[in-house]
Amino acid sequence: AIALTMLLAKWMKAEPSLSLMLGVGTGVCGAAAIAAVSPIIQAKDEDTAIGVGIIALVGTVFAVGYTVLRPFLPMSAVD
């Protein structure tokens, strides 16, 4: 997930530090990972806040989306 995010960011000419934080947030564990990596890569506070906000927003959208789509997905409980 981290490598894919960095490749997409490079293709889209995004800021490298924000892209790395979003990749780590996506690949590891969300906002906590961004908060841990931010001082290591010496990211600006503004980039850290944007990264945490984006990860929280995307996580919320996917959680709600999964909840809505779950009844229509071909999945069953496995004993």
The tens-digit pLDDT sequence of the chain (79 residues) is: 899 999 999 999 999 999 999 999 999 989 999 999 999 999 999 999 999 999 999 999 999 999 999 888 888 777 5
Give domain limits for the chain: 2-70
> Are 23 and 5 a contacting pair, CB within 8 Å?
yes
Using DSSP's 3-state secondary structure scheme, residue 78 falls into: coil
> Are 42 and 18 a contacting pair, CB within 8 Å?
no
